[in-house]
Amino acid sequence: QVQLQESGPGLVKPSQTLSLTCIVSGGSITSRGYYWSWIRQHPGKGLEWIGYIYYNARTYYNPSLKSRVTISVDTFKNQFSLKLNSVTAADTAVYYCARVGVGGSGWYDWFDPWGLGTLVTVSS
Amino acid sequence: QSVLTQPPSASGTPGQRVTISCSGSSSNIGSNSVNWYQQLPGTAPKLLIRSDNERPSGVPDRFSGSKSGTSASLAISGLQSEDEADYFCAAWDVSLNGHVVFGGGTKLTVL
């Protein structure tokens, strides 16, 4: 079955760019009918959707983060990536990647499966 | 401040039936389907219910979802100790060009 694994630095300095990659295994990132998403969870808090991408590079972003976020896809490596620039301590969180399926309303809105998550701390 | 509102905590005893509510608005739950996630301590969230009331393969039928108007509910019957976890609701919101919104989560304690 499809599995996802996040990778990237666990520590990023303020004002710099957070960069993470999600490697997809057990299935192709070009599978029709699925988007690929990033979601984060601040320590002890709820979940926040960051955005998602289709294999053809079509993207949707959270309006609250859109000015700082770029999600890209590499179909040859079967992976997709997140870049979040100008980070502050408020961006400290566990970052998850997940596959996204289409729900009953026609929007891509359910996440399954998820990666294990990776903690990124923003600190000097 | 989460767009979808959930009670911060809920509890029940083994065997009991518990429900967790999720309140939204016309731009999210009122016009789109709701999904529920279970997050066991120290692990990633897991899809529990999608499209209001569909259970993915492998999810026990003790878990069920429902929706009415701008609110949704997750019901867990025959509560078990391993159900102690955080539960999150989520939905697509059509405002601001569209985005996924989550509830703040409900911590379920099995007494």
Residue B55 touches chain A, beta carbons under 8 Å: no
| Whether A18 contacts A83, CB under 8 Å | yes
| Whether A36 contacts A80, CB under 8 Å | yes
Distances (CA, A) of A96 to A80, A93, A99: 12, 9, 10
Residue B44 touches chain A, beta carbons under 8 Å: yes
pLDDT tens, chain B, 111 aa long:
889 999 999 999 999 999 999 999 999 999 999 999 999 999 999 999 999 999 999 999 999 999 999 999 999 999 999 999 999 999 999 998 889 999 999 999 999
Q: Do A46 and B96 touch (CB under 8 A)?
A: no
Q: How far apart are CA A66 and CA A58, in angstroms?
A: 14
Whether the pLDDT of residue A105 is over 90: the answer is no
Peptide linkage before B60 cis (omega within 30 of 0): no
Q: How far apart are CA B108 and CA A118, in angstroms?
A: 24
Q: What's the average model confidence in pLDDT over A49-68? A: 96
What is residue B100's predicted lDDT score, i.e. its pLDDT? Answer: 96
Residue B75 touches chain A, beta carbons under 8 Å: no
Q: How far apart are CA A34 and CA A52, in angstroms?
A: 10
Q: Do B44 and A116 touch (CB under 8 A)?
A: yes
CB-side neighbour CA atoms (13 Å) of A105: 23
Question: Rg (Cα) of chain B, in Å, rounded?
Answer: 13
What is residue A45's predicted lDDT score, i.e. its pLDDT? Answer: 87
Question: What are A45's two structure tokens?
Answer: 């808090």
Mutate to test the interface with B, among A95, A107, A108 (most CBs of B within 10 A): A107
